[in-house]
Amino acid sequence: MLDTLIADIAARMATAPDRGQVARYIPELAKVSPAHFGIAVVTADGREHVAGDADLSFSIQSVSKVFALVEALQAHGERVWQRVGREPSGSAFNSIIQLELEQGRPRNPFINAGAIAVTDLIAEGNEPREGIGAILRLVRSLAGDDTINVDGAVAYSEAATGFRNAALANYMRSFGMIAGPVETTLQVYFHQCAIAMSCRQLARAGRFLMHAGRCPTSGKPIVSPERARRIAALMLTCGHYDASGEFAFEVGLPAKSGVGGGILAIAPGRASIAVWSPGLSPQGNSLLGTKALEELSRAMGWNVFNPPPAC
């Protein structure tokens, strides 16, 4: 049933006329064709269901903020929350407006400012390549795939044009919210955003979140069950920026989007889902990826607000 469902979704998304706009502010991303659509679903029994361009690599961009948060929590524990809050911003992903009003402490770890502050903790005292290495090692081990890598052209392209992120980082530095050299922190951030993965690899990397923080193959905790719940809570409330409420309303699953057009969504206890379609909504989230998740969650009854079957 699931295979037929996602094959049907992928077929319709492949020919949908309204596909959104591919991100243009990172020149390398502007080259990607909006024609792609891929979906991969790993269910709790470990089975993989894929359709469309599920094995093509794309730039995970802000989806990497989930992995950076896990890395920072593993390395620095609760100290992370001195740097970032846990409130939805209601503003665009790259907004600077709240930083001045709130003494340079970003609202949450998924807006750009918050992600840069989290990455600064990972970068602290390290060379850029060590910080990037730590995030890449985590992603590879979560996906069980050592071939995953950074797309150097995308990282370079963003570094060459990332004036807004440089402004956010420097502004936070002026409040002491960023400790390290701004250049180092930004290098790590641009490279983590430029990690390239397919839907299949991304859905595999998200498995621990459907399994209450445990690695599905070794059974070892990646994060505690409490942290897994909290990361999921942040994905639900902040994962789609100023469209997070709408996403919770329509899909009802914790999820994180990226301007490469990818979305990682978690149905706790049931599935880890990755979708990819490069065209974006005005808020910078994959237009058809969101539509596909709406259809999938409705058809499967995967929604965190559904009562358990016994009720």
Return the residue of 213, 254, 284, 289 that touches ligand DON, per CB under 6 A.
Answer: 284
Is position 257 an interface residue for ligand DON (rule: CB under 6 A)?
yes
Contact, 238 vs 108, CB < 8 A?
yes
Residue 291, amino acid: K
Give the number of residues written for the chain.
311
Tell the smallest beta-carbon distance from residue 143 to ligand DON (Å).
19
- Segment near ligand DON (CB under 6 A), from 10-18, 34-42, 256-264, 293-301? 256-264
Tell the smallest beta-carbon distance from residue 18 to ligand DON (Å).
19
Query: Which of residues 117 and 300 has its CB atom nearest to ligand DON in the complex?
Result: 117
Of 59, 62, 64, 277, the active-site residue reads 62
Phi, psi dihedral angles at 88 (to 5 degrees): -60, 145
Return the residue of 22, 66, 155, 193 that touches ligand DON, per CB under 6 A.
Answer: 193
Of 65, 95, 244, 257, the active-site residue reads 65
Contact, 58 vs 31, CB < 8 A?
no
Rounded to the nearest 10 degrees, the angle between the axes of helix 112-123 and helix 128-143 is 100
156 is catalytic: no
- Segment near ligand DON (CB under 6 A), from 11-19, 50-58, 143-151, 251-259? 251-259
Tell the smallest beta-carbon distance from residue 122 to ligand DON (Å).
16
Tell the smallest beta-carbon distance from residue 110 to ligand DON (Å).
8
Of 241, 244, 256, 277, the active-site residue reads 241
User: Bridge partners of 221?
Assistant: 214
- Segment near ligand DON (CB under 6 A), from 172-180, 206-214, 230-238, 254-262? 254-262
25 is catalytic: no
201 token code pair: 């690899």
In whole angstroms, give the CA distance from residue 10 to residue 217. Answer: 28
In whole angstroms, give the CA distance from residue 93 to residue 108. Answer: 11
Is position 120 an interface residue for ligand DON (rule: CB under 6 A)?
no
- Give Cα 110 to chain centroid, integer Å: 8
Is position 93 an interface residue for ligand DON (rule: CB under 6 A)?
yes
Query: Which of residues 95 and 285 has its CB atom nearest to ligand DON in the complex?
Result: 285
171 is catalytic: no
Return the residue of 21, 74, 91, 94 that touches ligand DON, per CB under 6 A.
Answer: 94
Q: Dump the DSSP string for 181-230.
A: -HHHHHHHHHHHHTEEE-HHHHHHHTHHHHTTTB-TTT--BSS-HHHHHH
- Closest C-alpha among 213, 240, 239 to residue 226: 213
189 is catalytic: yes
Is position 259 an interface residue for ligand DON (rule: CB under 6 A)?
yes
Tell the smallest beta-carbon distance from residue 230 to ligand DON (Å).
21
Rounded to the nearest 10 degrees, the angle between the axes of helix 182-193 and helix 128-143 is 30
Query: Which of residues 53 and 151 has its CB atom nearest to ligand DON in the complex?
Result: 151
Phi, psi dihedral angles at 217 (to 5 degrees): -95, -45
220 is catalytic: no
Query: Which of residues 61 and 290 has its CB atom nearest to ligand DON in the complex?
Result: 61
Phi-psi region of 180 (alpha: psi -120 to 50; beta: other; left: phi over 0): beta
Binding site for ligand DON (CB under 6 A): 61-62, 93-94, 112, 158, 165, 193, 257-259, 284-285
Catalytic residue set:
62, 65, 189, 241, 259
